[in-house]
Amino acid sequence: MNLKRLTVGTFNLYNLNEPSMPVYTDRNGWSQAEYDLKIDWTMRVIRMLRPDIFGFQELWHASSINRAVEASGLAGEYDVVAPPGATGERIVCAAIVRKGLMSSDPDWIVNFPDKFVLQSSGDDPQTPEIRVDIDSFSRPVLHFTIKPREALDDVHVYVCHFKSKAPTKVFRESWFRADEATYKKHVTGLGSAISTIRRTAEAAALRFMLSEQMKGTGTPVIVLGDINDGQHSNTANILTEQPRYLVGDSVGGGDISLYTAQTLQEYRNTRDVYYTHIHQDVMESLDHILVSEEFYDNSRKRVWMFDGMTVNNDHLNFDNHKETGTNDHGIICATFKYKPIKAEARAIVEGDV
């Protein structure tokens, strides 16, 4: 396979489970009519956008995404990547990948790396010790490789879904019940802090894995997912390592940096109109496509050039997802065209001529 263009997308499926199966505390789940609407809408999105890779979050049952792909009429074009144990009892990340593009078996990463540590005695005498004991992802991270060009290295793809901003339900904890009079007034603040710590740890653990893989290797990487945080959040900054975006000569790029499709698109717009989620009338960008320097326009090691991003989010203006089958996140796709930096330009940049 030698693609001239590579299109990748991320799509939160909004708790796609089989009808009548429990979803969180909703013991009845989706009715058959609601489920049929979800399958219809999901398949229409797939058929309309047709990316080479679609990373999915909030899938419960593998049969449901298989059914949506079948209904789209595109089953012959895609491999469905879902864990064999996805039978409706837990939430997983999944994907569809254009046939012939995958170059490895998929893997769902549950545990943080063995040597990953979040502990510090403090930077100065005034800073108390801190230790965060979290050792696994809330939602296993999907990892696989693709080979869009035969002569090029495999591209590593990660599909992730981090802990939401919703406050953790601390009222269920024994320490809360033991002194409810004290803690009841703090339920939101404490719950939100715990969710933030968990999401931060998940971002740091994935960053740890990415740095191990990317440092000094020239390994191309794509991260797709709902990180439940915005473009300039600490969560995103940890994942990307806040690279410098250069405009002009191709002298940029960072060995372990990731670049957001949102920022690359902003270079082509006169204003920022990007959002993928609405909560209490606040529009946020929670869903992201992050790419390594091989996909960054101004990188000295560019192989693929950004060629635009679409955001399908009109359905977020209506809070009737059960009645329409829509999801509660925007769907983003980014396209990259094969356009390596010219050898002579690279030689000039690197001082070889």
**pLDDT by position in tens, the chain (length 353):** 899 999 999 999 999 999 999 998 889 999 999 999 999 999 999 999 999 999 999 999 999 999 999 999 999 999 999 998 899 999 999 999 999 999 999 999 999 999 999 999 988 889 999 999 999 999 999 999 999 999 999 999 999 999 988 899 999 999 999 999 999 999 999 999 999 999 999 999 999 999 999 999 999 999 999 998 878 889 999 999 988 886 555 568 889 999 999 888 887 776 666 767 766 666 677 899 999 999 999 899 999 999 999 988 787 777 888 888 888 888 999 999 999 987 544 444 455 43
Q: CA 232 to CA 274: how far, in whole Å?
A: 13
Length in residues, the chain = 353
Within a domain: 126: no
Phi, psi of 316 (to 5 degrees): -75, -15
Q: CA 196 to CA 199: how far, in whole Å?
A: 5
Determine the structural domain holding residue 236 and report its residue range: 5-117+135-167+201-349
pLDDT of 270: 64
In this structure, the number of other CB atoms found within 10 A of the CB of residue 306 comes to 23
Cα distance from N-terminal residue to C-terminal residue, the chain: 34
pLDDT of 317: 78
Within a domain: 266: yes
Within a domain: 189: no
Q: Label the pairing between strands 287-291 and 221-226.
A: antiparallel
Largest Cα separation within the chain, whole Å, is 73
Q: pTM above the 0.85 mark?
A: yes
Q: Hey, what are 24's tokens?
A: 């969180």
Q: CA 291 to CA 155: how far, in whole Å?
A: 10
Q: CA 258 to CA 239: how far, in whole Å?
A: 7
Q: How many structural domains does the chain have? A: 1
* Rg (alpha carbons) of the chain, rounded to whole number: 21
Q: Are the C-beta atoms of 260 and 243 separated by less than 8 Å?
A: no
Q: Hey, what are 251's tokens?
A: 């002298």
> Residue 342 carries which DSSP code?
P
Q: Hey, what are 249's tokens?
A: 């000569």
One DSSP character per residue, 100-115 reads: T-B-S--EEEEEPPTT
Q: How far is CA 83 from CA 64, 94, 286, in A?
A: 13, 8, 24
pLDDT of 248: 57
State pLDDT tens for residues 304-353: 999 999 988 787 777 888 888 888 888 999 999 999 987 544 444 455 43
Q: Are the C-beta atoms of 243 and 257 separated by less than 8 Å?
A: yes
Could you give the angle at which helices 62-72 and 32-49 cross, rounded to 10 degrees? 60
Q: What 3-state class would DSSP assign to 255?
A: coil
pLDDT of 353: 38
pLDDT of 125: 87
Within a domain: 307: yes
Within a domain: 312: yes
Q: CA 245 to CA 206: how far, in whole Å?
A: 22
Q: Are the C-beta atoms of 205 and 112 separated by less than 8 Å?
A: yes
Looking at residue 82, which CATH number applies to its domain?
3.60.10.10
Q: Which of 297, 141, 126 is nearest to 227 (CA)?
A: 141
pLDDT of 184: 95
Q: Are the C-beta atoms of 145 and 104 separated by less than 8 Å?
A: yes
Within a domain: 48: yes
73: left (phi over 0), alpha (psi -120 to 50) or beta: left
In this structure, the number of other CB atoms found within 10 A of the CB of residue 181 comes to 6
Q: Which of 2, 18, 13 is nearest to 330 (CA)?
A: 13
Within a domain: 128: no
Within a domain: 178: no
Q: Are the C-beta atoms of 263 and 274 separated by less than 8 Å?
A: no
If you search the block for the tokens 């108390």, which residue do you land on? 128
Q: CA 87 to CA 143: how far, in whole Å?
A: 20
